[in-house]
Chain A
């Protein structure tokens, strides 16, 4: 399937799922789906750098927060609508990713991971001390009373927007994976020195993948202030975003665009279910147990399993 056909299919599915807003009266479904979709975007975004390129980014929460706080900034400054926040948040996070790339991509392995975590801390302190976007006290972003497109509630709009953004993230991830660029990234992941010697422009490709990855993470955060109506640094920079955006591709599989999607839907749904049935305290335990199980039994995630099964069948 070429990229254009895939894009048409992805957006058609997203719009079809958005039409559910007219059929399901239960708002809980949309809140839960919003959270799962948020993780689909984050995991897909993380995988472009972490999975395709092999650079582990612990700063997902920072880029997510950049998207969220860009929305807050434009809301405070101009009362700008959600669409402006989405475009601006994605661009600002992309630029921040570019900066991170230039500053840190000469580092490798654990050193890059530590640098990305440090960036998260620096940004956290910056936001805490920036009173215009609420600083340590937090900021309020009020949902508009009139919901566009004839949707009954604002949560329906945010859910629909999140669906389209998730489809966009998957289209971008798949396009990268299937392109020459994707093969270059795979070469970097397998052996960066060999890739460089073979003529792969490693620094350029790494910076590009960091920028795209961070832009998508920022995009995931842009709707968050409207979803919550109140945002403060400790929730925007929560470690759970960083942990989940790594755990989900790891469980789903890091070699293809489908892995983060499967991981996020599976783990996100289980977390949502457990939260209202067993106990919230089990959430992190479940993530931990699944991680240990997958790392030991299926290091290439669910998609790795599927590949092995397919190969066995072909034989």
Chain B
């Protein structure tokens, strides 16, 4: 009798110790978050900036004791900005590195190839600046951090046309121009939808090859149609080319710009300097409205120091805060659900609002922001090519959305040059 009870007690003790040891071992195992990121190739500059932001997030979380009692470890590979590397990298992350969660790299081209694998494995997939990727996949565990809104194609260009229709007298003609590439085509598609809705007359609607060298003939052709508005959707090299050409030719129109990729980053801001005066564009953040982003300064202070050392965008206004916010969303969902169950994480992310460095984030059914929040701005009063001026308020007027508005459009465009 006594022997039996001693045996039972010993068994229980062994079981307890075993469980405790397993628990300890689990607690010591890092929580691995995997992703591919463009560290070489055409988008390497942005990819590296996003990586710095994600590393800062991991350090911040680990300084507070990690997640679920485990240290966070980022496991990442260079996708070379090459979509064909993505399926292999993500299957390695999931099957070989055994990561607990995955997030995406930067941009549509590297998000889409990861989608089939995410759908097969039922992973909650938080993504970074993809344009309308889920419109084809319709995956209910897809989430996207760029504030493009639930209908990205249309919402992306809404600010420009809302600002235009506030002009007095109202504009009646528009020229649409952009590069032959993925993003400009999507932006122009949205612009056409607004033009149709607002009853504007299209006097020019053409695209140009992305490797165009001389943009003056394009600007002259646009000028020949004498449009009230010129909407431009472009990638950095042609953004610079078109802005330079508009200045050289002396483009006369009431509003110019709208969808230029490039002036969000320090490199193009300092390169173009005063040539940007009068240009309308989109931005994710401007120092003029920093009181609306009360915690962002903490992040930017950490980011800017490192970015200078690593030779990437020293401002960090555009992509890095959203890369950090993407990880904050994941962090808050993990804490709230108390685990890594992908279904619970996705349900939580669909249901609740998240408090992040870029403001409050709520996701629509298709995983995009439920309300668009990209800022439409106009650059003005830029006196030289130094970076310092961009760090302070006074050179960017926010035109849209209304809750962030700091002023109205200064039209016509060419008057801003004086």
Contact surface of A with B, Cβ cutoff 8 Å: 25-28, 30-32, 34-35, 125, 128-129, 135-138, 140, 142-143, 153-155, 224, 227-232, 234-235, 238, 240, 272, 275-276, 279-281, 283
B83 adjacent to chain A (CB < 8 Å): yes
A255 to B109, CA, bound (A): 38
Q: Which residue from chain A places its CB closest to the CB of B132 in the assembled complex?
A: A137
A67 to chain B, nearest CB (A): 14
Chain B stretch 95-136: residues in CB contact (< 8 A) with chain A: 95-96, 108-109, 112-113, 115-117, 120, 136
Main secondary structure of the interface of B (DSSP, over half): helix
A224 to B39, CA, bound (A): 24
Chain B stretch 47-82: residues in CB contact (< 8 A) with chain A: 77-80, 82
B28 adjacent to chain A (CB < 8 Å): no
A27 to B96, CA, bound (A): 9
Say whether A228 contacts B85, CB under 8 Å: no
A240: chain B residues at CB < 8 Å are: 82
Q: Which residue from chain B places its CB closest to the CB of A138 in the assembled complex?
A: B182
Chain B contact patch, size range: 35 or more
Say whether B91 contacts A281, CB under 8 Å: no
A235 to B96, CA, bound (A): 26
- Name 10 interchain pairs, CB-CB below 8 A, sorted by A: A32-B88, A128-B180, A136-B184, A153-B120, A227-B84, A228-B83, A230-B112, A235-B83, A238-B84, A275-B78
B116: chain A residues at CB < 8 Å are: 142-143, 154, 229
Say whether B180 contacts A129, CB under 8 Å: yes
Say whether B94 contacts A27, CB under 8 Å: yes
A229-B112, A229-B113 known; A25 vs B84 contact (CB < 8 Å): no
Q: Which residue from chain A places its CB closest to the CB of B40 in the assembled complex?
A: A281
Choice from B79, B109, B120 contacting A232 with Cβ under 8 Å: B109
Say whether A227 contacts B77, CB under 8 Å: no
Choice from A34, A135, A154 contacting B185 with Cβ under 8 Å: A135
B83 to chain A, nearest CB (A): 5
Contact surface of B with A, Cβ cutoff 8 Å: 39-40, 77-80, 82-89, 91-92, 94-96, 108-109, 112-113, 115-117, 120, 136-137, 179-182, 184-186, 207, 209
Say whether B88 contacts A235, CB under 8 Å: no
Say whether A281 contacts B185, CB under 8 Å: no
Q: Which residue from chain A places its CB closest to the CB of B79 in the assembled complex?
A: A280
Say whether B96 contacts A28, CB under 8 Å: yes
B340 to chain A, nearest CB (A): 20
A30 to B87, CA, bound (A): 10
- Known contacts A228-B113, A230-B113; 17 additional CB pairs below 8 A are A26-B91, A28-B92, A28-B95, A28-B96, A129-B180, A136-B180, A136-B181, A137-B185, A137-B186, A140-B136, A230-B83, A230-B112, A230-B115, A275-B89, A276-B77, A279-B78, A280-B77
A26 to B209, CA, bound (A): 42
A78 to B235, CA, bound (A): 34
A136-B184, A229-B115, A229-B116 known; A155 vs B136 contact (CB < 8 Å): no
Chain A to chain B: the 4 pairs with minimum beta-carbon distance, closest first: A230-B112, A31-B88, A280-B78, A27-B91
Q: Which residue from chain B places its CB closest to the CB of A35 in the assembled complex?
A: B88
Choice from A31, A135, A136 contacting B91 with Cβ under 8 Å: A31
B121 to chain A, nearest CB (A): 9
A31 to B79, CA, bound (A): 14
A152 to chain B, nearest CB (A): 10
A26 to B98, CA, bound (A): 11
Say whether B78 contacts A25, CB under 8 Å: no
Say whether B80 contacts A283, CB under 8 Å: yes
Say whether A136 contacts B185, CB under 8 Å: yes
A135 to B180, CA, bound (A): 8
